[in-house]
Each structure stands twice: as structure tokens, then as C-alpha cells.
Structure 1
Amino acid sequence: MVFKSLFSGAKPQQNDSSDTATGLNARDLARQQLMDDIGHFLLGNDLEISEENLSAAFGICSGHDAELARRVTERRAAGQPVTQAWLDEQCRHGEDAVERMADKLERSLETFATTSRNARATAAQYNSEMQVHVDKASEAEEQAEILNLAELARAMLERTKHLEQEMHRSEREAATLRSNLAKARRDADHDHLTGLPNRRAFESLIDQHYREAQASLDALSVAFCDIDNFKSINDTHGHDTGDRVIQAIASSLAKISGDNCHVARHGGEEFVMLFRGSGKKEACQQLDEVREAFSQRNFINRRTDEPIGQITFSGGVADVFAYKSPREALKAADVALYAAKEQGRNRIVAA
């Protein structure tokens, strides 16, 4: 389903005869239409071509995210623009909804485990008391009525023992589910390739430190880092080598991380860092020391033993409190990063 009302500006007319002439089937045409719709949505609303925006645009244009599509349609119907800040906020609301759902599930699992635990304890106590009565009834075998009662009691005892075992199994299953949920939450906040926090986790982190640093009057700086000529590395030596390069830079950046310095993989070959208690100049110096040390290393393609040579990265740093919000500071650091690229790469530039 295509949400044509989401786009601003006129779209070029499709020529059915040209589609027939090129031999495109219905599936190809649908895929081409979806690509066109995504492009018109991003360009028509003056949005960046980023991983997050492409994902949001795909959800909107394909109908996979009907709720977000509905909000976009309502906003445009009200005559309001679909800005980057507004779209970011809507996507964060979606993540918050998932987090709330996970919290609710965790609470339900805890309640279920507690109920099962209490029921099992009650069943165990009942089993003990029933066993006493069964033993007493078995001692008086000369009385047929008592024997019948003993047989009935034994049957009841077996059933309650089985129930106790089932409840114990339910407890274990609930504990396993809680463990899996906790792991899923950790996985959702970490990048699998590098082991670093991902963009989602970093956004929560920067919001937390922004509030705390404001209250305590601490300095707060943010940095963007990007591997130089990474596409060339991938094209020449393969994606496996590219992944190892990403891991190597992640490891180098992580060495300076701690309580007051946090690093995350922002996506692709890009990393983002937060420096608590460090001004822009000090953060630049810390990051530049890592850059200098890393640029002295020489890499080799493990598969072919061919030398890769020097690998470098560039960075941009911004003072968070010099801007209206942490996200404005991130944009400034990103601009400084591109300035570093334009100045020849392998350098750190302050915003």
C-alpha cells in the first residue's frame, strides 16, 4: 500500500508503455514504485538520507508501520511540515512503546512466578498433611471402609504431587522467560559486531547525562567519528576485513571509555562518543590521541596476507551546552566531522 498523501510536490507521471517496453513485470513495477515513494517522501520533506530515515520511510510507504503513516497523514492534513525533529520524536515514541510493553511483560512474568511459587508451597504442605492421613489409614487394614478411604487418599495424593511438579515446571519456565527478556533487552541496546552500545542506547545515555550535567554544572561534549575511505577497504579487501577494521577501531575507542566517557556504534563505519566533565578542547585532545595511536598501525588482510596499510579515522567534536539540545550538538559534531574529511581526513575538528 502506498501512502501518496504523505509526499509534498508533484510526482513525475509514469508511462505505462515504457514499462511494457522495458519488460518490467508487476512485481518489478511495485518495487520501483516503492523506491520512488520512499525517495519522494525523504526529498519532498527535506529529510536526510540516513539509515533511520530510510527505515521510517519504508515503514510509512510500504504500510508496515501503519501507525506512523497515520500520524504523518494527520500532520500533513493539518498543514504542518514533516520535519526531522518531529520524525525523530515519533520514532522514539515507537521505541518507548516497545519498552513499556517489555516492562508490562516482565511484571506479568514476575506475578505469574510468584503465584506459581505460592501455589506450589500450598500444594506441598497439603501433600505432607495428606501423606500423614494415608499412613494412618493404611495401618488399619482390617476395616474395609478405611481401606477404601486410604485408596482414595492415595489417588488424591498422586494428583496433587503431579500438580506440584507442574507448578515447579511453570516456575522454571517463567524464570527462563525473564532471563530471555533481559537478554533481549541487552541485545536491543548493543551492537552485535563490536559489543558496543548502539545508537538507541546512546540516545538514552546522552539524555540522562545531559540532565545530570545541567544539574551539576559539568562540562559535556559529544563527538562523531568515521573511518576514512571505508568503502575502498570493503571493495578491495572484502566485507570480512571491513568488519575487522570496524572492530579494531571500536576496541581502540573503547579503551578511553569509562564512567565519564562513553562510546557507541552509531551505524555503519560511524561511532559517537560522549565526554562527561570534558570541554570541547579536552575532548578533542583525548580523541586525537586515540586517532594518532591508531594511525600508526599497519593492517594485513588475514585471508590473502596482502597488506592493507594505514587505516585512519576522522572526528568532529561539539560542546553540548553551546546548542539548544543534545541533538543540535550532535548535528554540529557531524558537520565538524565532514569538515575534517574535507580538510584531508585523519584529523579531529572542533565545531
Structure 2
Amino acid sequence: MNAHDPSTSRGNWARWFGLGGSRSDEDESAAGHPGAGPAASETPSDRRRRQILDDLTRFLDTHRLPVTAETLGLAHDIVTGADPPLVRLVTERVASGAPLTLEWLEQSAALREATDGAQGVHTLARSLERAIAQFAQTATRARTAASGYNKALAAHVDEMGASDSCEVPCSSITTLTTIAREMLRRTRDIEREMNRSERETQTLQQNLEDARREAEIDHLTGLPNRRAFEAVFAEEFEEAQAGRDALCVAFCDIDRFKRINDTHGHEAGDRVLRTVAQALAELSNDRCHVARHGGEEFVVLLRGSNLKEACAILDDAREALSLRRLVNRVTNTPFGRISFSAGVADAHAYADRREALRAADEALFRAKLSGRNRVMAAGLDDWAGFRVVPAAPPGDDGEP
């Protein structure tokens, strides 16, 4: 069964939270094992739906959560793996032994809504930038037209004023000349205002661009942040589909980063984050985009690379980092082996970008469960890898 199959994803997450049966139990049920009851006549879709309902019930009951529309929605996203960021938060909380309370879930949901709201503000800023750019073009055209009109009008006024003979009364000529000169004065005022508006618009455009660039940078690592990545992914996904170009997306997560923080302190942990960010940033070019997705997790977009090639690129970076021996210069204490795990997905193998990200996230999850410090591909039961990960020296598991 492929790793991106919804039932497989659900089973992985459910077993991690202590829900659902064993793999053998699932196989027996799928085969119509005697005593399975209605399952023998159910379609695969029926079984999946029933399993989701069972997982939802067990999840709410295990954590003693009330049955409300909100908790049902959150529980569904958790047990099916539909919301990878929320799943990771819940996984960490369950693993730490902390209770999974309604208050905590509501806070997590509020945080997610805040993130979505920030994305909405970003989209609005983009629309405003386009509107300002269009206004600037209109102002430029209007200023140019006004300038040309002024020159032509000035020439005619000078010609009329210099004329000694005419077929109409000279008083009429004088009146027309006066009116024309007033019109000329007003159009020149308009031209000056248009010039001023154009300069202000250009300044506002630059300020918006600077603010947007500032908002899209992760200031700890210097990499683009999640918001910037989402915009790039949307653009690259559309262009790659139109041009039938290969496109892969990967999640990379620093192995046992919490232990680094606990052992060496958060300032040292920040330095490790920057080191890993620099190692991944070396992959960046116009066909490869690297961003910090949040916490100790990074996301990589590889255009023009198929699944095997993308895995090889990340595996090279993984090996190069894991072979380094970093030392905390503040305490002169070795960090031990710093490594990351990665999950890679072919973006075109899924219905949309969200599904591709979810598949890469699950592949990362499998890489973690398989021992860390490795790259795994979505859609494969196993990834043989490109090199054998060396065993840690006796008494040293590669951790700080």
C-alpha cells in the first residue's frame, strides 16, 4: 500500500497516538477475517469511513474531550493527518505526557487561524501593490499627455498673441488668448500635482516592497519564511504543470533538536539552526527554493528534478552535514553529530499542492520512525537510500 494512501496515513497517525489496531489486525479486517461481521461485505470506502469514525471516537474518549462541532473537526484533522502542523503539535504534546485538553486544542486552533489571517493580509498587500502599480502607470500617462497638451497649447497661444491681423475682432482674440493662458496655467498646475503624486506613488511602492520582503524573511536564519514559500510554491506548481516540468517538495527536520536546546541552551540551538539553514541554502538557485517552515523544520522545492534526483540532492546535503563535527564555542563542548531527516514527494503525483505537502510530511514522519538521519520518498514503502548511514561510535549515538 502506498504511503500516500489515506488509510495508511490514518493508521500511522492513529497508532502514534495509541489508537487503532495493529497492522496485522488491519490486514485481517481488510481480508474479511471470520468474525469481522459487516466488514466482510463492506467496500474499501465503507471501511475507511468506519475506521475514521472509530478513530474519532477513540481519540475523543482517550483524551476525555467533549463532543462538539469544534472538537470533532479538530479530531478529524488529527487522526486523518489532514492538518500536518496540528498533528506535529499534538504528537509532541502526547509524547511529552502533557494532557490534551480542550483549552490547549482551542489555543492551537486560534494559532492556526492567526497564521491563515497573516496569509490573508499578505494576499491583500499583493493586491494593493498591483493597484498602486496600475495607478502609477495611469499617472505617468496622464502626466505625459498633460505635458504634450501644454506644449501644443502654449505654441498656439503664442501664435495668436503675436498675430497682427485677423478676420475676427481683436477683442475676441484677446479674450480667447486670456482664457487659453488661464487653461495653460491650470494644466501646468495639474502636471505638477501629477508629478508629485507619481513620486509619492513610487515611494509607497518601494516601501511596500521593502515591507513585504521584510515580512517574508525568517530573521534567525535569513531564509525565506513559510509565507514566502507558499507564494513561490503556488507559482512554481502552476508553471511546472503548464510546462510539464518535474517538481518535488521536501520537508527537512533537524534530528532531536529539543535535546540540543536542553543540553546546550537555546542560544546554541539557534546557532545550530543557522548552521543547518546555511547547509540547505547552498542548494538554492533559480530551480531550488529553500525556506524555514517553522521551528526546526525546513521546506525545499526542487524544480526540474524527479523524485529520485530530488532525494539524491537532499541526501548529499544530509550526509555532508552529518559528517561535520560541530563544537559549541561558548562552552567548548562538542555538539555531537548534527543531522536532519527528510521526506520528499513528487508534487505532480497528487491532486493539489496541499496533498503533496502532506505526503512529504508523512515521508518525513516515516524517516524519523526509521531511525532518523535519512531521506525517504513518499509513495514508496521503503527507500533504499544512496549510502549506508554510518553507525555511531561506541558510547556515542551522535547526539549532543
TM over 0.5: yes
Alignment size in residue pairs: 267
- Superposed displacement of residue 178, structure 1: 3.0
Which of 276, 280, 286 pairs up with 2:313?
A: 286
User: 1:300 aligned to 2:327?
Assistant: yes
Report what 1:43 is aligned to. Answer: 74
Report what 1:310 is aligned to. Answer: 337
Q: Deviations over 1:133-171 (max 9, x none)?
A: xxxxxxxxxxxxxxxxxxxxxxxxxxxxxxx99999887
Q: Helix, strand or coil: the match of 2:251?
A: strand
Asked if the contact 1:113–1:170 (Cα under 8 Å) also holds between the matched residues in 2, the reply is no
Asked if the contact 2:223–2:277 (Cα under 8 Å) also holds between the matched residues in 1, the reply is yes
Which of 85, 94, 99 pairs up with 2:126?
A: 99
User: Which whole-Å CA distance do the structure 2 matches of 1:60 and 1:196 have between them?
Assistant: 22
User: Which whole-Å CA distance do the structure 1 matches of 2:308 and 2:363 have between them?
Assistant: 14
Report what 2:370 is aligned to. Answer: 343
Asked if the contact 2:240–2:246 (Cα under 8 Å) also holds between the matched residues in 1, the reply is yes
- Superposed displacement of residue 100, structure 1: 1.6
- Superposed displacement of residue 109, structure 1: 7.0
TM, length-normalised to structure 2: 0.53
Change in Cα spacing, 1:49 to 1:262, as seen in structure 2 (3 Å) is: closer
CA RMSD of aligned residues (A): 4.5
- Superposed displacement of residue 251, structure 1: 1.0
Uncovered stretches (5+) of structure 1, i.e. residues with no partner: 1-7, 13-36, 66-86, 121-163
Amino acid in structure 2 at the alignment position of 1:267:
G
Q: Helix, strand or coil: the match of 2:77?
A: coil
Change in Cα spacing, 1:277 to 1:298, as seen in structure 2 (3 Å) is: same
User: Which whole-Å CA distance do the structure 1 matches of 2:376 and 2:234 have between them?
Assistant: 24
Q: Deviations over 1:290-310 (max 9, x none)?
A: 100101111122322222121
Higher RCO by CA contacts (8 Å cutoff, separation 6 or greater): 2
Report what 1:269 is aligned to. Answer: 296
User: Which whole-Å CA distance do the structure 1 matches of 2:286 and 2:203 have between them?
Assistant: 31
Change in Cα spacing, 1:109 to 1:192, as seen in structure 2 (3 Å) is: farther
Asked if the contact 1:297–1:310 (Cα under 8 Å) also holds between the matched residues in 2, the reply is yes
Uncovered stretches (5+) of structure 2, i.e. residues with no partner: 1-55, 61-67, 90-104, 148-190, 379-400
Which of 230, 238, 259 pairs up with 1:232?
A: 259
Asked if the contact 2:139–2:194 (Cα under 8 Å) also holds between the matched residues in 1, the reply is no
Amino acid in structure 1 at the alignment position of 2:333:
E
Q: Helix, strand or coil: the match of 2:301?
A: strand
User: Which whole-Å CA distance do the structure 2 matches of 1:339 and 1:323 have between them?
Assistant: 19
Report what 1:199 is aligned to. Answer: 226
Report what 1:161 is aligned to. Answer: none
Amino acid in structure 2 at the alignment position of 1:311:
I
